[in-house]
Amino acid sequence: MFNQAQLIAEIQQAADQVQLHSNKATELFKNALIDTVTHTVTPQNTTDIFVATGDIPAMWLRDSTFQVLPYLQLIQTVPQVKTLIQGVLNQQLAYVRHDPYANAFNQTASGAHYTTDSSNIPISDLVWERKFEIDSLCAPLHLAAQLYQTSGTTEHLTPEFWQTVALIMATFIREQHHETSDYVFNRPDCPPSDTLSHEGHGAPIGYTGMVWSGFRPSDDACQYGYLVPGNMYIVVVITELLALIGAENIDQPELVGAMTTLKEQIETGIADFAVVRPTPTADPIWAYEVDGLGHVNLMDDANVPSLLSAPFLGYCSIDEPLYQQTRGFILSPANPYFYAGQFLAGIGSPHTPPHHVWPIALAMVGLTTTNLAAVTAQIDLIAATDNGTLQCHEGVHVDNPAQYTREWFSWANMTYCQLVFHYLALKAKA
Asked if 175 contacts 212 with a C-beta cutoff of 8 angstroms, the reply is yes
Residue 397 lies in a domain: yes
d(CA 167, CA 170): 5
User: Residue 362 falls within a domain, yes or no?
Assistant: yes
Cβ pair 331, 294 in contact under 8 A: no
Render each residue's pLDDT in the chain as its tens digit; 430 residues.
Answer: 899 999 999 999 999 999 999 999 999 999 999 999 999 999 999 999 999 998 899 999 999 999 999 999 999 999 999 999 999 999 999 999 999 999 999 999 999 998 865 556 778 999 999 999 999 999 999 999 999 999 999 999 999 999 999 999 999 999 999 999 999 999 988 999 999 999 999 999 999 999 999 999 999 999 999 999 999 999 999 999 999 999 999 999 999 999 999 999 999 999 999 999 999 999 999 999 999 999 999 999 999 999 999 999 999 999 999 999 999 999 999 999 999 999 999 999 999 999 999 999 999 999 999 999 999 999 999 999 999 999 999 999 999 999 999 999 999 999 999 999 999 999 999 8
Count of domains for the chain:
1
**242 membership: H or E segment, kind and range:** helix 228-248
How confident is the model at residue 71, as a pLDDT? 98
Q: For residue 1, what pLDDT is reported? A: 83
Calculate helix-pair angle for 372-383, 410-429, nearest 10 degrees. 150
Residue 143 DSSP SS3 = helix
Q: Are 66 and 411 in contact (CB under 8 A)?
A: yes
Q: Which domain holds residue 397?
A: 24-39+339-430
Q: Classify 54 as helix, strand or coil.
A: strand
Beta bridge partners of 429: none
- Per DSSP bridges, beta strands 127-129 and 226-227 are unpaired
Indicate whether 412 belongs to any domain: yes
Q: Is residue 413 part of a domain?
A: yes
d(CA 302, CA 259) in angstroms, rounded, equals: 28
Residues 6+ apart with CB under 8 A from 403: 356, 396, 397
Identity at 51, one-letter amino acid code: V
Q: Is the residue at 91 inside a domain?
A: no
Facing residues of 289 across strands?
227, 297
The amino acid at 233: Y
Please tell me whether residue 193 adopts helix, strand or coil conformation.
helix
Give domain status of residue 383, yes or no: yes
The dihedral region occupied by 346, where left means phi > 0, alpha psi between -120 and 50, and beta the remainder, is left
In a domain, 287, yes or no: no
Amino acid, single-letter form, for residue 235 = V
What is the SS3 assignment for 352-405? CCCCEECHHHHHHHHHCCCCHHHHHHHHHHHHCCCCCCCCCCCEEECCEEEEEE
Q: Which residues of 51-88 are buried (b: 16+ CB within 10 A; e: fewer)?
A: bbbbebebbbbbbbbbbbbbbbbbbeebebbbbbbbbb
Q: Which amino acid is at 157?
A: L
Burial (Cβ within 10 Å: 0-12, 13-18, ≥19) of residue 172: buried
Model pLDDT, residue 245: 98
Alpha-carbon distance of 395 to 360, in angstroms, equals 9
State how far the Cα of 344 lies from the Cα of 339, in Å rounded to an integer.
8
Cα distance between residue 51 and residue 69, in whole Å: 12
410 lies in a domain? yes
Name residue 120's amino acid. Answer: N
